[in-house]
Amino acid sequence: MNENLLYLAKIGEINLKKGNLKNFERRLAQNLSLYLENTGASVRVRAGRLFLEIPSEFRTLAEKSLDMLIGITGWAEAKVAEKNIDSIAAVLIKEAKEAVRLGCKTFKIEARRSDKSFPFTSYEIGRETGAQIHMAGILTVDVHNPDIVLSVEVREKSVFVYGVEHTGRRGLPCGVSGRGLLLLSGGIDSPVAGYRMLFRGMKLDFLYFHSHPYTSPEAQQKVETLAEKLAEYGLGAYLNIVSFTKVQQQIKKTAPEAYLTLMMRMCMMKTAERIAKKVNAQCLITGESLAQVASQTVENLSVTNSCIDFPVFRPLIGMDKEEITALAIKIGTYETSILPYEDCCVLFSPKHPVLHTRLEDAFEIYNRMGIEPFLDEAFESCETKKIIGYGKKK
């Protein structure tokens, strides 16, 4: 079983970015190659298509990688036909028989011809080959609502034929839209926020604040698992882990009860900004959604924005919990996020948090806490773990 498999993937939105097209295509091919390191895979891009050739023993890994890859709208296993109508029909008939095995009854042919010297037009290719399949009684033609579309692409050097098409993830290839630092907690929201930015082509690093012994090692393990999951889409990442115990204790000691959470959020943003600059990230990303909890009112979000001079992206701002949860399930982070280990201790959560803080009040309380030395210590405590997220690990 040493023969090679061939896959063809369709490139989506990146087709629109004319100026950057080459760069985007190169990145997409690189990303797929990373998933398939040491398999002997060959990946190339030709005229809006990504082609993958790989030894058949790696079928499972190849298909999982195409499912994970951000930046393609669809993919299919393709067969090569010789450049004449009989060979195309013969390969199509094999595909049609395969479709019958999968339960299909009706079909249509979709042909594309980029080599205009081929003596049949796209329409004629469809008519000739479709008639053969129909006449052989394998499948019945239904141009409006077919069970399967059999595709033919006649190109300069080869002809490709494929049947079952899998939906791709869409989005932009990871690495074409800069670098962000995701504030990653063990909750449902922040992993989804991270995915949304990966989906726009951003490369991510992660930052987690722990409060040992108030938060458990299991809570941190949960974050590490989430980081690994996201790093699979993001083709690797670094997880920065910062100790926030003393910061939280100082806040508890010096700030009014109702402001505890807001002060902690300000301290997190301050520290995150410093870490972001250290790791060359261009923005912070959080899983906040408007009015979901007290610290996420427009006034309180303005406070956490104003305490730093750095872009903060909140991709979930207009989504509700149901939509966020549905996406968490889809990207595979939900099951980990709902494990029962809290990422924040009730000891530090006020019963009646302030909802509509005035900027001046927040800054006055913040400045009275004498928190700077504790933030310096937190920054110094940062430990970094490399997360591979692809390739041999699987």
Q: How far apart are CA 125 and CA 120, in angstroms?
A: 6
Name the 3-class secondary structure at 196: helix
CB of 60 to ligand ATP, least distance (A): 32
CB of 265 to ligand ATP, least distance (A): 7
Query: Residue 282 binds what, of Mg ion, ligand ATP, none (CB under 5 to 8 Å, by partner type)?
Result: none
Are 40 and 3 in contact by the 8 Å Cβ rule? The answer is no
CB-nearer residue toward ligand ATP: 55 or 311 = 311
208 is in an annotated binding site: yes
Query: Residue 224 binds what, of ligand ATP, Mg ion, none (CB under 5 to 8 Å, by partner type)?
Result: none
Are 14 and 173 in contact by the 8 Å Cβ rule? The answer is yes
CB-nearer residue toward Mg ion: 110 or 342 = 342
Closest among 248, 246, 285, 240 to 264, alpha carbons compared:
248
CB of 293 to ligand ATP, least distance (A): 5
Q: Walk across the sheet containing 312-313 and list its strands.
A: 312-313, 283-285, 179-183, 203-210, 237-243, 383-387
250 is in an annotated binding site: no
CB of 188 to ligand ATP, least distance (A): 5
CB of 301 to Mg ion, least distance (A): 15
CB-nearer residue toward ligand ATP: 129 or 220 = 220
Query: Residue 183 binds what, of ligand ATP, Mg ion, none (CB under 5 to 8 Å, by partner type)?
Result: ligand ATP
Query: Residue 292 binds what, of Mg ion, ligand ATP, none (CB under 5 to 8 Å, by partner type)?
Result: ligand ATP
Closest among 194, 210, 192 to 202, alpha carbons compared:
194
- Nearest residue to ligand ATP by CB is 187
Name the 3-class secondary structure at 43: strand
- Gap between the terminal Cα atoms of the chain: 21
Which residues neighbour 199 within 8 Å (Cβ) at sequence distance 6 or greater?
Answer: 70, 169, 170, 171, 172
24 is in an annotated binding site: no
The CA-atom distances, in angstroms, between 350 and each of 15, 255, 259, 283 are 50, 11, 8, 29
CB-nearer residue toward ligand ATP: 52 or 184 = 184
Which residues neighbour 119 within 8 Å (Cβ) at sequence distance 6 or greater?
Answer: none
Q: Summarize as ranges the residues that interact with ligand ATP (CB under 6 A).
A: 183-185, 187-190, 207-209, 286-288, 292-293, 295, 343-344
CB of 125 to ligand ATP, least distance (A): 52
358 is in an annotated binding site: no
Q: How far apart are CA 33 and CA 74, in angstroms?
A: 17
- Show contacts with Mg ion in window 150-209 (CB under 5 A): 185, 187
265 is in an annotated binding site: yes
CB-nearer residue toward ligand ATP: 87 or 221 = 221
CB-nearer residue toward ligand ATP: 92 or 262 = 262
Annotated binding site for ATP: 183-184, 208-209, 265, 287, 296
| Residues making contact with Mg ion (CB under 5 A) | 185, 187
